[in-house]
Structure 1
Amino acid sequence: MTDKRNTQLDVVDSVQGEKPALKRTKHIDLGRMRKGFSVKPLALGVASVILSGCGGEKEDATIYTSLEDCKQDFPDAVERCEAAYQTAVDEAMRTSPRFSSEYDCEHEFGPNQCQYVNNSSGSFFMPFMAGYMVSSLLSTNRYYSQPLYTSYSYNSPFRSRWITADGYVFDGDIRKRKYRVNKDVYKPKPTVNRTMKRGGFGSSVRAKSSWGSSSRKGGWGG
């Protein structure tokens, strides 16, 4: 069992200042995670996709680096910004890649980028959510929200890039803020019930990397 120790969430290279520390626990406190996000907004990135309304194959996307940025863009929809974040947290718990050891997880996502979870579905390590994607936030029907991840590991093919739970990578690095995304990015992700070994997630990313290489290939960003 891995020692319980204080860890730090890395932020994008362009952000200066002290990095906030988190304590790894056996159980994930979603309320505490939400509070931590609002107090230390730069610990997470937020990718917010606003539908263009044209019904095309691609949708406009803007990436935020804090929950507060979402609230500033949608001051009359603060509760929806918060609800979209909570939805992403729940989805991360359901769809995030899982690993049997912290070593295997950190090999993929970088030092201190993984948390230990022990719940009804078992015990495992999973990466911290690095952001969340929202579409149709102001829709009268429904909006969509899902988690995003990144890696700080030199072993990773998606180092410093946005990636979905099922291994699709956005082009450019995490400093990029404008995208045109394929509608397929909104498709529900499968529930993850099994752990994978070191290198397994990276291998799946490499197999799908062409999706994010250019808009002509139907990728996630252009």
Structure 2
Amino acid sequence: MRSAAAGLSAVGAAAMLSGCDPSPEELSRKQFGPPTEVAAFSSVAECVATRDYTQQQCEAGQRAAANDDNRTAPRFADKSVCEDQFGSGSCQPRTDGGQSFFSPLLTGFLIGQLANGGGYRYGGLYRDRRDDRSYTGSGAWLYNGGYGGRNYRYQVGSSAITAPVTTSRIQTRSSVVSRGGFGGRSSTRGGWGG
């Protein structure tokens, strides 16, 4: 009887502690605003195959992501720090404005429709090897994969697609550790939608 009560108390305490941490969705909303639906693709062919977008829209999405990659990709001072997050062989040296750094390879693009008939917004995606999720250059992660029954639909914080992203700060090992990694996911790791 006593051990059963102690076990229940431990379960209750764990539940209370986990209830104190905000969910990944709450963290994303706090940093990037309310969720908006986006479509994520690794290629133009994958995008066109959905029949939700024309060849031209898919090509525009991939082109915009490639054109913006040097400006929006996460930047790291050391190759090892970049590869810790994005995988061995997934980071390349770059320079911009006289600064040298390492950035992950672009792994896809997203298409998001802006509100009030404002057209489409495109962005690049980077695949984190630790949790196998895609992130925008600003560190906003895509969640609730398969949204609307379609496995290429996700949600992301709305400011991740409405505001232009410029990554100028080069991250060091200490800055990445203090934030819990790219995207600042320090308090939670499991149970993300997707």
TM-score, reference length from structure 2: 0.60
The alpha carbon displacement at 1:94 in A equals: 0.9
Correspondence 1:187-206 to 2 at 5 A: 187-198=162-173, 200-201=175-176, 203-204=178-179
Which deviations, in whole Å up to 9, do the C-alpha atoms of 1:110-144 show, x marking residues without a partner? 1001011134443221001122111239x975310
Change (3 A) 1:121 1:99: same
Q: For 1:73 and 1:173, how far apart are their aligned partners in 2?
A: 15
Where do 4+ consecutive residues of structure 1 move more than 6 Å? 209-214
Shift of 1:203: 4.3
Aligned residue in 2 for 1:164:
136
> In structure 2, what is the equivalent of residue 135 of structure 1?
112
One-letter amino acid of the structure 1 residue matched with residue 179 of structure 2: S
* 1:150 match: secondary structure: strand
- Higher gyration radius (CA): 2
Give distance in 1, aligned partners of 2:137 and 2:188.
14
Counterpart code for 2:134: W
For 1:134 and 1:98, the matched residues in 2 are separated by: 23
Length, aligned pairs only? 154
Equivalences for residues 118-129 of structure 1 within 5 A: 118-129=95-106
Within the candidate set 90, 95, 102, 1:113 is matched to 90
Q: Which has the higher helix share?
A: 2
How large is the RMSD of aligned CA atoms in angstroms? 3.7
Structure-2 change in CA distance of 1:86 and 1:64 (3 Å): closer
Partner of 1:88: 65
* Length-normalised TM-score, structure 1: 0.54
SS at structure 1 position matched to 2:89? coil
1:66 equivalent to 2:38? Answer no
* Structure with the larger RCO, 1 or 2 (CA within 8 Å, 6+ apart): 2
Gaps of 5+ in 1: 1-56
CA distance in 2, matches of 1:205, 1:114: 19
Identity across matched positions, percent: 25
Residue 78 (structure 2) pairs with residue 101 (structure 1): yes
